[in-house]
Amino acid sequence: MPKRSSSVVGREFGAGVRAVIARTGLTHRRLAELLGWQEAKISDLTLGKGGVSEQEVVLLLAYCQATTEEREHLLELFRESGKAWLQIPEDGVPDQVRTLIDQERDAEEITDWSLTLVPGLLQIPEYAYVVTEHSTLIEAEKVPAVAAARAARANILRPGRQFTFLIHEHALWLQVGSLEVWREQLAHLLRMSVRKYISLRIVPRSAGMHAGTAGDFRMMKFPKYPTVVYVESVNYCLFFDDADTIKAHDDILAALAAVALSEEESRAVIDNILEGLQ
């Protein structure tokens, strides 16, 4: 892992190293002294910036008495390279992987494009339950817990950061759950859309063919880290932080913004759908 700015996989590696070190009770300074390293090397490792060899990682983990499972996992992360980082969660629930939740928590700006459903962060609990219930990967007895975890992620929608949601009009017309759930979900979108730190814009059906037909994605920007694009499918998710992929998705967002309705016009569309459901 050459020394570089911190990537998604690098930060995941760093978090794991921090956990192993914390268990020893040693400060970074003391651990560096015991290993004969500069303290900065420990700092770079825990921040996921690399700058060490694989042999040095093995030495550190051995000194900290990492378990075999921890060592194998961290070395796998250390060796990870390429433009994308694939995760296949064991429970088959991509939007609940800890890496995504950590990235959402740290981001200062999140832009979400949604083609088919209301974005996860804007889903009311009842809507999230129905979405979860229809997954072919989630066992029936696990649906309540997974749905509750999905709904809880909306807690990050607070002042101090900026959220932009671009939603295709088709997503508003898809009935998820009962008529009552459908109405409450639309009403929730209206309530959220007037918050100063949330921008909600609809891509109307009248726009026809558009740049976002390849599917949903989320772009997350950070104060100190490179921008990350997150994409998920049925049972896997991908994290990208290379410049080419970021630009490609940035271009898609710009094209969608060019055809999307204004925030006020978007509220009017939601209002019209709600009136038709009375």
pTM: 0.82
One domain for residues 192 and 248? yes
One domain for residues 25 and 12? yes
Residue 213, both tokens? 């037909």
Give a yes or no: residue 129 inside a domain. Answer: no
Q: Around Cβ 208, how many Cβ atoms within 10 Å?
A: 7
Give a yes or no: residue 206 inside a domain. Answer: yes
Q: What pLDDT, on the 0 to 100 scale, is given for residue 260? A: 98
Residue 85, both tokens? 């980082």
Domain encompassing residue 101: 85-123+154-276
Calculate mean pLDDT across residues 113-135: 95
List of residues 6+ apart from 136 with CB closer than 8 A: 234
One domain for residues 194 and 232? yes
pLDDT in tens, 250-272: 999 999 999 999 999 999 999 99
One domain for residues 160 and 229? yes
- Measured in residues, the chain has a length of 278
One domain for residues 38 and 175? no
Give a yes or no: residue 134 inside a domain. Answer: no
Contact at 8 Å (CB) between 207 and 259?
Answer: yes
The total number of structural domains that make up the chain: 2
Give a yes or no: residue 144 inside a domain. Answer: no
The CATH number given to whatever domain includes residue 95 is 3.30.870.10
Under the phi-then-psi rule, with left for phi > 0, alpha for psi from -120 to 50, and beta for the rest, what region is 84? beta
One domain for residues 218 and 271? yes
Backbone angles phi, psi at 109, to 5 degrees: -145, 125
Contact at 8 Å (CB) between 260 and 112?
Answer: no
Q: 237, 216, 234: which is closest to 136 by C-alpha?
A: 234
- Is the C-alpha dihedral spanning 122, 226, 235, 91 positive or negative? negative
pLDDT in tens, 80-108: 766 788 888 877 787 888 889 889 999 99
